Amino acid sequence: MRHLSLIAGLVLIAGAVQAQQLDWWQTGVIYQIYPRSYKDSNGDGIGDINGIISKLDYIASLGVAAIWLSPIYKSPMADFGYDISDFRDIDPLFGTLDDFKLLVAEAKSRNLGIIMDMVPNHSSDEHEWFVKSEQKIEPYTDYYFWQPAKGFDPNGAPIPPNNWLSVFGGSAWAWSELRQEFYLHQFHAKQPDFNYRNPAIVQELKDILTFWYDLGVYGFRWDAVTHMFEDPALPDEPVSGNPVDPNDYNYLKHIYTQNLPETPYTLSLYKAHTDEYSLNAGDGLHRVMMLEVWNPIEEVMQYYRNVSDFPFNFRFLTTMGAYSNGRDAENAIRGWVDNIPDNGWPNWVLGNHDISRVGSRLQLTDGAILTTLLLPGTSINYYGEELGMVDTYIPPEEVVDPAGYRDPPRTPMQWDDSQFAGFTTGPKPWLRVNDNYLTVNVAAEEAADESVLKIFRKLVALRKEPAIQFGTLHTTVVSYELVLAYAREAVNATDRSYMVVLNWSHDQTHVVNLSPGAFGAFPFEITNPTVEIRTIGSDIPYDNFDPSAFTLKPRAGCVVSFNAVRK
């Protein structure tokens, strides 16, 4: 049994523990929308801003605090919007800047913030800066990573400066006939890398942040920041020993092009800029900075402190699978909360646009949201998680993702049982709709007695409880490592405490005893228990809940409120 006091939110005054006010981004749930797939307003088969506006009442009904939008900037779409040609405009596929302003205003009137995506390592080659940089027009000459050829081969072809490879395969260097130099592209050749050693580019990005803050944006999620810096001495990278083609990215060990120590420092400049903006705005709104960092946990933790409000916690994505048990779930939780630096705020991510949906990956959705939404910290939830949407099989001839594997979690939101799940009125959505839309959809789940949607809403509402905001976290694993139970023990004994119990087993039923003295018990007596939420089909009786003997079917779980009595 392990315990954690969330000191971050508490101050000890004259022996009495008092709750500090937590901020919107800490108590709230952040709802990620992949805009192409949420709601199409004009029948072209692609989701857009007006579509999102038309669904704001639904989003507000979930109780979430903010919407994070995957990129909607102007882009030639060589990489679905991650190749930006104007950081201050909206792509016409999604609408106009005026549509965006309306979205911000309409969201705000429903108490919802809008969070934008920042893609810092490169722009599109069609960006005005790159076009001018290629012509050496000041001040753009050194905005990108230019290098002369190392020499010329016998046929007169330029030889790249070193052996660096692009994430998409092949040399990371592309030759510009015009400038007679190579530029670096860690991703697509249409995505030239910025030169972050040039203070002018650092300033440009600050100005872009200011532009969007002025439009009322509540913060940014920064895309995989690992590729921001490269070693300026341009050493060849060593061979990794992986049995892959020499043109494959994994052929080399990326010690000179990933996770350079300059990255957290540069990000801290943006964090300082953001905090300064909030201070000067004088509106009391904390603008949030969330980072995507896929590194080992010790490295990820370096991105707290003055670098961001939090780096995303991907433990449930990277350490858990369909056959993970209660112990694995406990490890995923403790691995984060026990490693977090002082004053660091935890967060929980179950899925996103780059990875198999949680309903497919862990083969459960209601149990997964039950497990993460009542933990201390911010919850980030991908659209459709609140319905139990799963990955969609895409036949090879319909694959559109340039990387080839990211279509299944990106299929259209399932609104109702009409054609294309109500996503579009046009003849064809950009990606097919999951066949299960007849039953897995918003309308059906609103109507059902029990549904993932209803569970999600109740969980979000419970996050307002003092015990969920400030309570001590206790975790335990019982029943042969199969059952994870955790409690949020209220700081004030008069407040209700909460317990979440989930049976991770696929095929066995156990009887659990969580009363004091029993194996794995909590250090308090559980009195007046009430079942608040149960997973679908679990048949856990709402009445007469006995914490000393209760049975959970395979994959079943519940949330129980109670009064904790310390002996």
**Active-site residue numbers?**
223, 292
Between 63 and 120, CB nearer to Ca ion: 120
Rg (CA), the chain: 25
> Least CB distance from residue 367 to ligand NAG, whole Å?
11
Q: How far is CA 433 from CA 70, 218, 427, 438, in A?
A: 19, 31, 13, 10
Binding Ca ion (rule: CB under 5 A), the pick from 28, 48, 217, 314 is: 48
Let me know if 469 is exposed, middle or buried by CB neighbors in 10 A (0-12, 13-18, 19+). buried
Is 84 an interacting residue with respect to ligand NAG (CB under 6 A)?
no
227 or 496: CB nearest Ca ion: 227
Q: Which of 226, 203, 387 is nearest to 302 (CA)?
A: 226
* Cα dist from 169 to 63, 74, 89, 187, whole Å: 43, 25, 30, 8
Question: For the stretch 225-248, what's the b/e string if a residue is b when 16 or more beta carbons lie within 10 angstroms of its beta carbon?
Answer: bbbbbbeeebeebeeeeeeeeeee
Q: Dihedral of the CA atoms 409, 415, 419, 420 (nearest 10)?
A: -20
Among 470, 486, 522, 524, binds ligand NAG (CB under 6 A): 470
Least distance between Ca ion and beta carbon 259 (Å)? 11
Contact map string, positions 183 to 212, toward ligand NAG, x by CB under 6 A: ----x---x---------------------
Rounded to whole angstroms, how far apart are CA atoms 173 and 163?
A: 9
Count of residues making up the chain: 567
The answer to the question of residue 508 lying near ligand NAG (CB under 6 A) is: yes
**Could you say which residues in the range 211-250 bind ligand NAG, by CB under 6 A?**
223-225, 227-228
Residue with tokens 């559109």: 400
Q: Spell out, one character per residue from 94 to 133, where the chain touches ligand NAG: x when CB under 6 A holds, - when not.
A: -------------------------xxxx-----------
337 touches Ca ion (CB under 5 A): no
The order of strands in the sheet holding 2-4 is 2-4, 472-478, 483-489, 497-503, 557-565, 525-534
Residue from 23, 44, 262, 450 in contact with Ca ion (CB under 5 A):
44
**Among residues 30, 84, 90, 483, which is the contact residue for ligand NAG, using CB under 6 A?**
483
How far apart (Å, rounded) are the C-alpha atoms in residues 232 and 296? 24
The strands making up 173-176's β-sheet, listed across from edge to edge, are 146-147, 181-184, 173-176
Which does residue 144 bind out of Ca ion, ligand NAG, none, counting CB within 5 to 8 angstroms by kind? none
Q: Which class for 398: exposed (0-12), middle (13-18), buried (19 or more C-beta within 10 A)?
A: exposed
Binding site partner of 470, from ligand NAG, Ca ion, none, Cβ cut-off 5-8 A by kind: ligand NAG
Residue (19 or 461) nearer to ligand NAG, CB: 19
User: Is residue 263 at the binding interface for ligand NAG, with CB under 6 A as the rule?
Assistant: no
Output the smallest distance, CB 380 to ligand NAG, in A: 16
- Interface residues toward Ca ion, by CB under 5 A: 40, 42, 44, 46, 48, 121, 193, 227
Question: Which stretches of the chain bind ligand NAG, using CB under 6 A?
Answer: 17-19, 79, 82, 119-122, 187, 191, 223-225, 227-228, 265, 268-269, 272, 306, 466, 470, 479, 482-483, 491-492, 503, 505, 507-510, 512, 551-552, 554
